Amino acid sequence: MGHPMFEYDAAATQAIFDYCRERLQMDPVPLDYGGLAPLPYDELATLITAEGRPAGEVLDFFKHSLAPAVVSIDAPNFLAFIPNSPTKNSLLFDMVVACSGLNGTSWLESAGVVVAENQALEFLAQRAGLPEGSGGAFVSGGSMGNLAGLTVARDVGRTLRRELDPRTVRFAISADAHSSVGKALHVIGVDALLVETVDHRFTVDALRAALAADPHPETVIGVVATAGTTNAGIVDDLEGLGAYAREHDLWFHVDGAYGGAAMLSSSERAHFTGLRHADSFVVDPHKWLFAPLDCAALIYRNPTIARRVLAQQASYLDILHSADDEHYEWNPSDFAIHLSRRARGLPFWYSLVTYGTEAYESAIQASVDLARRAQEMIEALDYVEMVRPSSLSIVLFRRRGWRDEQYNEWSHQLLRDQIAFVTPTKWEGETVARLAFLHPGTDEDLVRRILETMRD
Ligand SMILES: Cc1ncc(COP(=O)(O)O)c(C=O)c1O
């Protein structure tokens, strides 16, 4: 007889499976209300007891009282921030990962996980044009990917430039880099050379001009480019910046957390050829590669260097590093700032393998096409106008005559009415409307409906 918490409970299992089946069958899933919904504080206050409660009862409470207070990020009418639209198979396999005690820390413990995850990473590295031997690990998100990549970049730069005071080294970044890049630099204690750009695109000319105007250009040890800015979907000049970085021995980090997936889109592919220069590259399967949260791919051109910087050393871990052959010593935990690790790359791997690459390509293309179509629809109306051309799957536009509060009120009303989750953003100081497409099930009718709500 085991401990009651470890005994199989057929009724609880059935209830959970039924709930998951119900969610999987929804087409589409309900948007729900997020922070606009009332929360059951009174019931929550007495929920945890010494004796526990029946599993089915607590599931019901979750289903009816908590779940509606979460905007479903996988709803096709979730167009705010950067959505996340996991495929059915990726969701199913996430359950497998949860139920099979799959650890993803080291080769010794989990070679079967590591080879599969590495296959998915290799696919991404190949499409990015990175050389054979590139590799890394799946981490929890783009923010952690940026932090790990830039930590390696910092140490490599300091080693290469021993003549510099290590406290003075910097990375060249543009103001449109994601906030997590600024946060990563703060954490690792490195300053930025903030490069001014034309129309928010970081180009090699902008980099050259910034370096020429800077009193200490020699302290710049790396360049951070964005392959799809979060706010506007702009892909930096990867080819120019990457070639410059290579020529001048600078680390080239590419943050493609959101937009990197568009390297698989036939119409956008050409903007991504410069990925081949990357020393570190981040792309999030939990964004535009249709995997469940939390899953970001972090790939290094030279994983051996990353391992030297990031692998944790401790006597109880020595056995993980004892193999002679590098291949058999592939510990995902060595490539980022983490140790114990969920096998979070597997739902993406399973989805990619089961649906095939063409399904991925067409699903990504669908959002790019819809963004262009939305632009045409906006251009055909007199009360709205584009702020700039759509880029990747992002559309920025303004409602003529609206003030800031009107955008916020409109956003809340759309959610209250369960039409869509759309949030405004700021563009050059002005509050504007923003649509971020990601779910291949989002269609023109929804865009039409949203635009209609902005009419007087
Ligand atoms: C370009 C870019 N980088 C980094 C991030 C952060 O990714 P995460 O939320 O997975 O940490 C985002 C998130 O939207 C992003 O768009």
φ, ψ (nearest 5 deg) of residue 135: 175, 175
**Ligand 1 pocket, 232 CB below 6 A?**
no
* Ligand 1 binding pocket mutation candidate from 84, 143, 293, 394 (most atoms within 8 A of CB): 143
CA–centroid distance, 276 to ligand 1, in Å, is 21
CB-ligand 1 contact for 281 (6 Å cutoff): no
Beta strand 296-300 with 251-255 is unpaired
DSSP assignment, residue 74? T
- From 138, 144, 178, the mutation candidate for ligand 1 (largest count of ligand atoms within 8 A of CB) is 178
Using left for φ > 0, alpha for ψ between -120 and 50, and beta otherwise, residue 278 falls in beta
Please, what are the domains in the chain?
96-357 (3.40.640.10), 358-452 (3.90.1150.170)
- Choose which residue among 230, 234, 289 to substitute to test ligand 1 binding: the one with the highest number of ligand atoms within 8 A of its C-beta: 230
Q: Is 165 exposed, middle or buried (0-12, 13-18, 19+ CB in 10 A)?
A: exposed
- Verify whether ligand 1 is closer than 6 Å to residue 134 (CB atom): no
Sequence-distant (≥ 6) Cβ neighbours of residue 225 within 8 angstroms? 202, 236, 237, 238, 241, 242, 252, 253, 254, 255, 274
Q: Identify the sign of the CA torsion 302, 293, 227, 210.
A: negative
What pairs with residue 296 in β-bridges? Answer: 139
Q: Which atom from ligand 1 is nearest to the alpha carbon of 82?
A: 14
* Sequential DSSP letters for 277-288: G-SEEEE-TTTT
Q: Classify residue 62 by its DSSP letter.
A: I
- Length of the chain counted residue by residue: 456
Using a 6 Å cutoff on CB, does residue 296 contact ligand 1? yes
Cα 383 to ligand 1 centre (Å): 32
**Would strands 430-436 and 296-300 be described as parallel, antiparallel, or unpaired?**
unpaired
Dist. CA 394 → ligand 1 center (Å): 15
Residue having the nearest C-alpha atom to atom 16 of ligand 1: 230
pLDDT in tens, the chain (456 residues): 689 999 999 999 999 999 999 999 999 999 999 999 999 999 999 999 999 999 999 999 999 999 999 999 999 999 999 999 999 999 999 999 999 989 999 999 999 999 999 999 999 999 999 999 999 999 999 999 999 999 999 999 999 999 999 999 999 999 999 999 999 999 999 999 999 999 999 999 999 999 999 999 999 999 999 999 999 999 999 999 999 999 999 999 999 999 999 999 999 999 999 999 999 999 999 999 999 999 999 999 999 999 999 999 999 998 888 766 655 679 999 999 999 999 999 999 999 999 999 999 999 999 999 999 999 999 999 999 999 999 999 999 999 999 999 999 999 999 999 999 999 999 999 999 999 999 999 999 999 999 999 998
Looking up tokens 């198979």, which residue turns up?
Answer: 89
- Cα of 61 vs centre of ligand 1, distance in Å, is 32
User: CA separation (Å) from 56 to 15, 17, 278, 280?
Assistant: 6, 11, 50, 46
Does any ligand 1 atom lie closer than 6 A to the CB of residue 82?
A: yes
Distance, CA of 330 to CA of 110 (rounded, Å): 10
Residue 196: phi and psi, rounded to 5, are -75, 140
293 touches ligand 1 (CB under 6 Å): no
CB 118 within 8 A of CB 260: no
Measured from the Cα of 144, ligand 1's closest atom is 11
The confidence score (pLDDT) of residue 112 equals 95
Query: Residue of the nearest CA to atom 7 in ligand 1?
Result: 142
Q: Is 257 in the pocket of ligand 1 (CB under 6 A)?
A: yes
Closest residue CA from atom 10 of ligand 1: 141
User: Measured in angstroms, how far is the CA atom of residue 181 from the centroid of ligand 1?
Assistant: 9
Give the per-residue pLDDT at 325: 61
Conformational region of residue 309, where left means phi above 0, alpha means psi within -120 to 50, and beta covers everything else: alpha
- In this prediction, residue 346 carries a pLDDT of 98
Measure CA of the first residue to CA of the last residue in the chain; give whole Å: 69
What pLDDT shows up at residue 326? 59
- Does the global pTM surpass 0.85? yes
Q: What distance in Å separates the CA atoms of residue 445 and residue 443, rounded to the nearest whole number?
A: 5
Atom of ligand 1 nearest to the CA of 287: 10
Q: What's the DSSP call for residue 167?
A: G
3-class DSSP assignment, residue 430: strand
Ligand 1 midpoint to CA 259 (Å): 10
Q: Is the CB of 84 under 6 A from ligand 1?
A: no
Half-sphere exposure of 187 (CA within 13 A, CB side): 16
204: which residues sit within 8 A by CB, 6+ positions away? 237, 240, 241, 243, 244
CA of 210 to the centre of ligand 1 (A): 26
Beta-strand relationship, 191-195 and 170-174: parallel
The predicted structure's pLDDT at residue 327: 54
174 Cβ closer than 6 Å to some ligand 1 atom: no
Predicted pLDDT of residue 328: 61
Do the Cβ atoms of 335 and 280 come closer than 8 Å? no
Atom index in ligand 1 nearest the CA of residue 142 equals: 7
Q: Which residues contact 226 (CB under 8 A, 6 or more apart)?
A: 174, 176, 177, 178, 202, 234, 235, 236, 254, 255, 256, 259
Going by the DSSP 8-state scheme, the letter that residue 236 receives in this structure is: P
Question: Which tokens go with 247?
Answer: 């020529």
Ramachandran bin of 361, using left for φ above 0, alpha for ψ from -120 to 50, beta for the remaining angles: alpha
Rounded CA separation 291/91 (Å): 8
148 in helix, strand or coil?
Answer: helix
Tell me the CA–centroid distance for residue 382 and ligand 1, in Å: 34
- For ligand 1, say whether the CB of 250 is within 6 Å of any of its atoms: no
d(CA 319, CA 269) in angstroms, rounded, equals 43
Asked whether 255 lines ligand 1 (CB < 6 A), one says yes
